[in-house]
Amino acid sequence: MPVTLPSCGVYERPEDAHRLFEGYDPRRALFLDRDGVINADHGYVHRPEDTEWIPGVFNLCRVAIDVGALIIVVTNQAGIARGYYSEQQFLDYTGWVHGQFASHEIVLQATCYCPHHPDAPDPALRLCSCRKPLPGMILEAARRYRIDLGASALLGDKPWDVQAGQAAGVGLNLRFDPNAMAEPGVVRTMQEAGQVLHRFFE
What residues are labeled active site? 33, 35
What is the C-alpha radius of gyration for the chain, rounded to an integer number of angstroms?
Answer: 16
Per DSSP, the residues of 144-192 read HHTB-GGG-EEEESSHHHHHHHHHHT-SEEEEE-TTPPS-TTEESSHHH
Task: Give one word for 34, left, alpha or beta, with left for phi > 0 and alpha for psi -120 to 50.
Answer: alpha
Residue 65 DSSP SS3: helix
Compute the distance between CA of residue 57 and CA of residue 32 in angstroms, rounded to an integer: 10
Cα 196 to the chain's mean position, in Å?
18
The strand pair at 9-11 and 110-114 is best described as antiparallel
Compute the distance between CA of residue 169 and CA of residue 141 in angstroms, rounded to an integer: 13
Q: Do the beta carbons of residue 106 and residue 19 sit within 8 Å?
A: no
